[in-house]
Amino acid sequence: MNYLKDKNIVLGICGGIAAYKNCELVRNLVKEEASVQVVMTKNATRFITPLTLHTLSGRKVAVDQYDLEMGSGISHIEIADNADLVIITPATASFIGRIASGIADNLLSTVIMATQAPVMFCPSMNVNMLDNPAVQENIQKLLKYGYKIIQPGEGYLACGWEGKGRMPDIPVIVSEMERMLAPKDLSGKKILITTGPTREYIDPARYISNPSTGKMGFSLAKAAWLRGASVTTISGQTTVEPPNGIRNIKVTSAKDMYEEVMKQADNYHIIIKTAAVSDYTPVKTNKSKIKKDQDNMSLEMKRTTDILSELGKNYTGKIIVGFAAETNDIVSHSIKKIREKNLDLIVANDISNKQAGFGSDLNKVSIIDRKSNVTEIPLMSKDDVAHRILDSIINLAKGS
C-alpha cells in the first residue's frame, strides 16, 4: 500500500548543512509517485541550488513569495491549499522559533501558517543548540499546536560535535510521512508480532534452524504501525532490520520465544504469530564442540512447546492469528490447525512456491477464519499482503 502515491507534498528546506540530504528525499518521494513542491528559504539556497531540486522534483522551486511566475494567485496560499502534507527538513533553531512565535516573514513560514494540511518538522542542528532551553521550549510549543516532530538522529555532526542533532535517515522520514497520510483504523490497538526463525543449538558451533528471514512479520509490523497501532515484535536471529517505529525484542531459541511471548501477551489486543519456530530441539546441548571422530552420529530430539496452542488456550479474549507454512493440502491442514489451536484467523502459504517462499519479497496466501471461509490473496509484495491480512483482522474485530 503506497500512501504517498498522488499526494501533494510540500518540502520546506531551511538554511542548514543537512539541506543537501533533501536530494535523496525528493528522489524517494518521486519514486513513490508523490508530487513534490519544494519551498526554500533564501539561506537554504546557499547550501543547495534550486536548480538541483527543480531537476529532481520536476517542478519549479519556490523561494520568493512575490514571484508571480509561481502562479496567477498569491503563491503561499496556493501552495498551502494544495498540500496534503508539509514537511520541513532541516528545521533550524531559527525557523522553529519563528513558527513557535507565530511569525510569518518569508514564503515557507507563510505557507505553514496558511495550510490546513498536517505539518512535520525535522529539527537538525548542533547538539548544544538542540539542548538549549529556548529551542526545547519552542519544540514543545510546536507539539502543543499539533505539529509533528521527528526526533533527530544521533552521531557525528557536521560541526565536529557528536550527539543528537542529525537529520533523520531518509527511510525514517519517508515512513513517518507515510504514517501521517495512512488511515488510522488501528489507532489505540496494541499488536504483538513474532517473526523470524529460532535456533536450537546442538553445540556452540552448530544449531538447527530454518530459512525464515522475518520479512513477512516485519512487513506486518510496519503496516500496523502505519495504520496507527503500537507494535512490538519478538524476532529470532534475522538479517532484516526492524522497521521504523517498532519495538523489537530479540530471542534465540523456541524456549526463549515461548517465554517472551507469554511474558508480553497480557499487554496486547492482537497477537500475530508469523515466526517459524522449531518443532523439535536437542534433548542435550553439548557445552563443547562435537568432534568428527565417528562416521555416524544420532541426535535425540524432543518437542518444543506449541506457542500458538498455548495462546489459543489461555488468551481467548484476544484476537490470535497464526501462520501455517505448508507444502501440500494447504487449506485443509490450516483448517485443522485453526480448530485444534483455537485461533481466530490463520494465514497459510505454500513454502514450496519459489516466488513466495522463505526469503522472497513476494507472498501468496490464503486467509482462513473460524468458519472455514477462505480469502485467497494473489502473488504480491509482502507489504501489500500485510495490509490485506490487517484488513481481515479489522473486519473480524468489527464482527463482519
In the chain, where does the domain assigned CATH 3.40.50.1950 lie? 8-181
Query: What pLDDT sits at residue 73?
Result: 47
- Separation CA 28–CA 2 (nearest Å): 12
Active site residues: 159
Query: What pLDDT sits at residue 328?
Result: 81
Please give the angle made by the CA atoms of 9, 383 and 148, to the nearest 5 degrees. Answer: 35
Query: What pLDDT sits at residue 144?
Result: 97
Q: Are 277 and 251 in contact (CB under 8 A)?
A: no
With a CB cutoff of 8 Å and minimum separation 6, the contacts of 72 are: none
pTM: 0.90
pLDDT single digits (tens) 19-41: 999 999 999 999 999 999 999 99
Query: What pLDDT sits at residue 167?
Result: 86
In the chain, where does the domain assigned CATH 3.40.50.10300 lie? 190-398
pLDDT single digits (tens) 275-324: 999 999 999 999 999 888 888 888 999 999 999 999 999 888 899 999 98
Q: Which of 88, 100, 159 is nearest to 135 (CA)?
A: 100
The domain 190-398: what is its CATH number? 3.40.50.10300
- Separation CA 321–CA 329 (nearest Å): 20
pLDDT single digits (tens) 367-379: 999 999 999 999 9
The domain 8-181: what is its CATH number? 3.40.50.1950
Q: Is the pLDDT of residue 72 over 60?
A: no
For 130-135, what is the mean pLDDT?
93
